[in-house]
Structure 1
Amino acid sequence: MTTYYELTGFQRDLLEAIAGVDDEPYGLALKDYLDERYADPINHSRLYQNLDRLAELDLIARDELDARTNVYTLTDAGRHLLQRHADTLASLCDQPRHVVGGGRQ
């Protein structure tokens, strides 16, 4: 099974984008979602190569929306991977932080 940290940062961001797009998560909607978060525009080739890789890893499913457009959804494995990471981040935020000199923040 693929772990979250075996994915590239861009692939992890794609999983988040698929989960976060309000409308149908098709290629250009995912590109728009990521373009808002990245300093440089996302290259189409990079986008689709990484979507293909996530599909190969069975983390996303690709279905035909119409004759020219695919829609991408998280599989159970992709949803589980993203949820585990979200849980890890949430638990880290709940932990007390120590600062230099022994004080607590």
Structure 2
Amino acid sequence: MTTYHDLTGFQRDLLEAIAGVDDEPYGLALKDYLDERYADPINHSRLYQNLDQLAELDLIARNELDARTNEYTLTDAGTQLLHRHADRLARFCDQPRPVAGESQQ
């Protein structure tokens, strides 16, 4: 089973982009979504190579929209992976944080 930390940072961002794109999550829409968040433009080759790897890991499904365009959606495994990570982050946020300069007992 693939874990969140088995993926590269870019692959994690792609999963979040697929979940976060409002319209159909096709390649260029995902690129636009990520381009807004990255300092440098996303290379097409990098984008599609990573989408292929995520599909091979069964974290996303690739469906044909038309003869030239694929739509990418999260599989159940991809959705569960993101949910587990979100739950883990939420638990961290609920934990009390030590204040700098206070002694720990």
Q: What TM-score does the superposition give when structure 1 sets the normalisation length?
A: 0.96
Specify the code of the residue in structure 2 equivalent to 1:52: D
User: How many residue pairs align between the two structures?
Assistant: 104
Specify the code of the residue in structure 1 equivalent to 2:23: D
Indicate the residue corresponding to 1:53 in structure 2. 53
**What SS does the corresponding residue of 1:66 show, helix, strand or coil?**
coil
2: distance between equivalents of 1:103 and 1:42?
A: 45
Indicate the residue corresponding to 2:38 in structure 1. 38
Q: Does 1:70 align with 2:70?
A: yes
Instruction: List per-residue Cα deviations over 1:34-55 (Å, max 9, x = no partner).
Output: 0000000000000000000000
2: distance between equivalents of 1:84 and 1:8?
A: 17
Specify the code of the residue in structure 2 equivalent to 1:88: R
2: distance between equivalents of 1:100 and 1:46?
A: 41
Indicate the residue corresponding to 1:96 in structure 2. 96
Structure 2 runs not aligned, ≥5 long: none
Q: What TM-score does the superposition give when structure 2 sets the normalisation length?
A: 0.96
Indicate the residue corresponding to 2:21 in structure 1. 21
Q: CA RMSD in A?
A: 1.2
Q: Does 1:9 align with 2:9?
A: yes
2: distance between equivalents of 1:2 and 1:84?
A: 12
**What SS does the corresponding residue of 2:41 show, helix, strand or coil?**
coil
Q: Does 1:84 align with 2:73?
A: no
Specify the code of the residue in structure 1 equivalent to 2:52: D
Distance apart, 1:99 and its partner CA: 2.0
2: distance between equivalents of 1:91 and 1:83?
A: 12
**What SS does the corresponding residue of 1:71 show, helix, strand or coil?**
strand
* Structure 1: 4+ residue segments shifted above 6 A: none
**How high is the sequence identity, in percent, across the aligned residues?**
85
